Structure 1
Amino acid sequence: MEEQVAALAAELAALKDATAGLNRTTAETFYYLTIPLMVLIHAGFLSYEMGASRAKNALASGIKNILAFAFIIPTFYYAGWFIYWAFPTGFSMSAGPAGISGLEYAIAAASPVGSVMGPSLADSATGVFFGAFAMFAATTASIMSGSLIERIQIVGFTILAIALGSFVWILGAAWGWHADGWLVTSLGYHDFGASGVVHAIAGFFTLGVLINLGARIGKFNPDGTANSIPGHSMPATLVGLMLIIAGFWGFLMACVIFPGEPWSWGIGIFANIYGTPVTLSALTFNILMGFAGGAIAAWAMTRDPFWMMSGALGGIISVAAGLDLYWPPMAFVIAMIGGVIMPLAAGVVEKMRIDDAVGAVALHGVVGLWGVVAVGIFASGYPALTAEGAPAITLYGQIVGAVVMAVLGFVPGYVISLLLKQMGLLRVPAESEVMGLDKVKVPAQAYPEFLTGPAPTTPAE
């Protein structure tokens, strides 16, 4: 009998080891697959921006996008990942209530010169988590990129991209997208899909840059009225927007915490980044409803294919913060409101004589704020964390969080771009802009066989 009990105990132990190994490799694979899905976002931004540019600027627009992606990876490795774990409670770098933040924790879990930030058979999580967050970081730079096309210097843009992607947005994520974040623990801030910590921060950082960058030559007339400067390929722009939406499945998939691991919030069910439960089924309902509601509303408002597809993305951004909480018909309505807000906000920005070439301030900045505030309107009362005595989601907390995200984005964007402007690193010379950035910045032609004549000009040129 004792031998049988021992044999059963050994079999049970082996089964537990096998199950743990399977769960570990499944979790690792789950996040590994989110990364190429999120790369689709950047393929989409590449197509979107090149199509939105005139032919004389197509390659220059694409190159700066790729360079931003490339530079953010090493800078996020050396700075951004550490910031996320060090600063949730504020600039004191003290440990938070959950004990997964602060200077000591960041040194142990994210030091760029430590052994944890490299291959280790004992650690199957850090690399894939870092990779997913690096894709979030690159997304913020890509959001900014399209607004600045056709007149920004590549060097200046790269500096701005590094600042936004590896320093600014990740500080907002530490505050509002972390279980120890002070916005979460103090105010019950909830932003599951990063409407605020990615989209609003990037949108308002972009606004700060646009104020200093100025409009493209020919965009505004002396009386303040605006001229349309259409891109050379609406199909490429629409395909790009659809690729961004496809990539958002990976983005939002990476916002959940896999169950059953030592670093998980529990077993048996996914959780969000705050530790409260969520299912991929819930996300699916609401992503699709967000897509549909935003596209329908924007099309009804404008009858413009560009704004229709932007509206689809705006609908997802509108519901992203509360994606884990909404009932699908509610998500559809919230997305429709976002689809209405977006072109109206873009019109206000243009009346301020700010040349946002692709409407990113409206689409990501304003609609991102709407997504954050909508959680306070439609989902107040849900627990913000799983800890005993944790605050609940409130409209007040969401409004304060939205303001924090807007300010955190705008101030660095304005200040850094102002410094670059004073150093002569922000904008290309007027003659280069008129000639086309491809001719002066890129040793290649986008369409050598088809577009060999003089570059088209706007009325002011």
Structure 2
Amino acid sequence: MENFADVKYILDGFLFVFAGILVMWMAAGFAMLEAGLTRTKNNATVLTKNMALFAISCIMYYFVGYNLMYGEGSSFMGSISTIDMVSAPDAAYPAAADFFFQVMFVATAASVISGTIAERMKLWPFLLFVVVLSGVIYPIQGHWVWGGTELGGVIAGFSDFAGSTLVHSVGGWAALAGVLILGARKGKYGKNGQVRPIPGSNLTLATLGTFILWLGWFGFNGGSQLALGSKSDIDGIAMVVANTNMAACAGAIMAALLTQLLYKKVDLTMVLNGALAGLVSCTAGPDLGMIVAFIEGIVGGALVVFAVPLWDKLRIDDPVGALSVHLVAGIWGTIAVGIFNPEVTLLAQLKGIVVIGAFVFISSFIVWKILDMVVGLRVDEETEINGLDIHETGLEAYPEFKRS
């Protein structure tokens, strides 16, 4: 029996480490996708943000966020103390492996925001917001569900397997709060309400980023099985990974078909975001079967096609479509669990969406507003026109292009 316990400890720990490595690779995916869907004059800033936000998220989650999320405190939040990375003799898995896996989710939530506020926000105010998000806002709402407190029963019965709401919609709500204060890019909307397209710089890069995210999602959802030490666990992981892949495929094809029908041409950017929306849609319930994953992906892909122009009608400028992918599809994916999982009620899912959404949006809006009042969120008009790269980083992503 002792040998069996050791083997299970090793396998469960390996799952956290390997899945965490896959999820870390999503940071590269976000960087490539955002760089590809924004203009070259802002690409060095985009890449700097994605590097820095990942590092800040990991540091803040270690010193503050992890115990705030999982520590013993109140039903609202855990305790603030430094993590003890030494595993107890009777631990089910290595403590450091669990931290490593969980910290990747924090960085993912922060990455969602980066694309939404791209091309007009100063670098340092954004990074200061990431400090608060990863250290305080994300772990508090995570404590309510994954920390096991259910906010004192307020959202009892809420279910989110890998984070359609707890990760993706959290990033979406925080991004929405920021962009409402920040405003649209210069020239994006005309006085009469017309929408002026601002094409991205490199669709090859954006496609590469999407495939990297797709790959990383197998660790994101598969690792959330949280155990590998039994036949039922590996069966569960295999099903989750297969379902995740199906949802992405369904989302991509749905977006392709809809854009062909609506615009008489297949829009690659919509296909990319359709695949990502399928992945987000499946994340709350990737263990519900292949048919459910297919339906989740189909609906997610359709939602993106309609949500992107809707945000523009509301004059909410989202350069990469992150609000449509992570917020809208995240809400749908969470609702889908209430529809397709007989053990979860739709009411419990809706309560969780509203409570978590309200907390994240309001707290984020307050932080963004304070940052705007103290240091200012937006670059000046001249910097925005010339590009943020020289002003914010002193570098250009493609200096030879400018010379030629």
RMSD over aligned Cα atoms:
2.3
Return the offset for 1:183. 7.6
Aligned to 2:232: 269
Query: Is structure 2 residue 29 aligned with structure 1 residue 61?
Result: no
Q: Within 1, Cα distance between the matches of 2:272 and 2:383?
A: 31
Q: Do 1:89 and 1:181's aligned partners in 2 also have CA atoms closer than 8 Å?
A: no
For residues 338 and 110 of structure 2, the distance between their equivalents in structure 1, rounded to whole angstroms, comes to: 28
Q: How does 1:134-213 map to 2 (within 5 A)?
A: 134-182=103-151, 187-213=156-182
1:38–1:251 CA contact under 8 A, matched in 2: yes
2:187 maps to which of 218, 223, 229: 218
Distance in 2 of aligned mates of 1:65 and 1:186: 33
> Greater CA deviation, 404-413 or 358-367?
404-413
Measure how far apart 1:25 and its partner are: 2.1
Q: Identify the residue that residue 283 of structure 1 maps to in structure 2.
A: 240
- Correspondence for 1:297: 254
Decide whether aligned partners of structure 1 residues 31 and 19 sit closer, same or farther in structure 2, where only a CA change above 3 A counts: same
Query: Structure 1 CA distance, aligned partners of 2:289 and 2:43?
Result: 42
Partner of 2:56: 71
Does 2:358 match 1:358?
Answer: no
Q: Distance in 2 between matches of 1:174 and 1:316?
A: 24
**How far does the alpha carbon of each residue in 1:416-442 deviate from its partner, in whole angstroms, 9 at most, with x for none?**
111111123311111111111112122
State the shift of 1:89 in Å.
5.7
Alpha-carbon offset, residue 253 of structure 1: 2.2
Give the 5 Å matches for 1:278-427: 279-302=236-259, 303-324=266-287, 326-380=288-342, 382=343, 393-427=344-378
The letter of the residue matching 1:158 is L
Say if 1:164 and 1:202, in contact at 8 Å, map to a contact too. no
Partner-residue secondary structure (3-state), 2:402: coil
Q: Distance in 1 between matches of 2:111 and 2:190?
A: 29
Moved more, 410-419 or 188-197: 410-419
Matched position secondary structure for 1:187: coil
Equivalent pair of 2:75/2:149 in contact (CA under 8 Å): no
More helix by share: 2
* Structure-to-structure mapping, 1:413-452, within 5 angstroms: 413-452=364-403
Report the alpha carbon displacement of residue 166 of structure 1 after superposing the two structures with TM.
2.6
SS in 2 for 1:269: helix
Task: Tell me, in whole angstroms, the C-alpha distance in 2 between the residues paired with 1:354 and 1:149.
Answer: 13
Query: Which structure's relative contact order is higher, taking Cα pairs within 8 Å and 6+ residues apart?
Result: 2
Describe the SS at the equivalent of 1:450: helix
Aligned length: 397
- The CA distance in 1 between the partners of 2:363 and 2:196, in whole Å, is 30
Structure 2 CA distance for partners of 1:151 and 1:87, relative to 1, 3 Å: farther
Contact 1:177 1:192 in 2 (8 A): no
Structure 1 residues 86 and 181 mapped into 2: Cα distance closer, same or farther (>3 Å)? farther
Structure 1 contact 294–315 (Cα < 8 Å) conserved: yes
Distance 1:87 1:417, change over 3 A: farther
- 1:447–1:370 Cα change, 3 Å: same
Distance 1:198 1:183, change over 3 A: farther
Q: Secondary structure at the match of 1:231?
A: coil
Pairwise mapping of residues 29-40 of structure 1 onto structure 2 (< 5 A)?
A: 29-40=14-25
- Distance across 2 between alignment mates of 1:446 and 1:318: 33
Helix, strand or coil: the match of 1:215? coil
Aligned mates of 1:300, 1:259 — CA distance in 2: 38
The amino acid across from 2:38 in the alignment is S
Letter in 2 for 1:334: E
Structure with max Cα Rg: 1
Q: 1: distance between equivalents of 2:105 and 2:135?
A: 10
| 2:218 pairs with one of 232, 240, 249 | 249
Letter in 2 for 1:307: M
Alignment of 1:40-59 (within 5 A): 40-59=25-44
Deviations, residues 259-307 of structure 1 (Å, cap 9, x unaligned): 66xxxxxx65339xxxxxx711221331122011111111122221111
Q: Which amino acid aligns with 1:79?
A: V
Q: Which residues of structure 2 form unaligned runs of 5+?
A: 260-265
Deviation at 1:184? 7.3
Aligned to 2:263: none
Task: Report the 3-state secondary structure (helix = DSSP H, G, I; strand = E; otherwise coil) of the residue aligned with 1:365.
Answer: helix
1:451 to partner: Cα distance = 2.9
Q: Provide the C-alpha distance between the structure 2 equivalents of 1:131 and 1:184, rounded to a whole number of angstroms.
A: 29
Is the 8 Å Cα contact of residues 220 and 227 (structure 1) preserved in structure 2?
A: yes
- Identity %, equivalent residues: 30
Q: Is the 8 A contact 2:122 2:377 kept in 1?
A: yes
2:164 touches 2:334 (CA, 8 Å); kept in 1?
yes
Flag structure 1 segments of 5+ consecutive residues without an equivalent. 1-15, 94-101, 261-266, 272-277, 383-392, 454-461
Contact 1:205–1:414 at 8 Å: present in 2 too? Answer: yes
Q: Is the 8 A contact 1:34 1:250 kept in 2?
A: yes
| Paired residue secondary structure (1:451) | helix
Q: Secondary structure at the match of 1:270?
A: helix
Whether contact under 8 Å (2:172, 2:326) holds in the other structure is yes
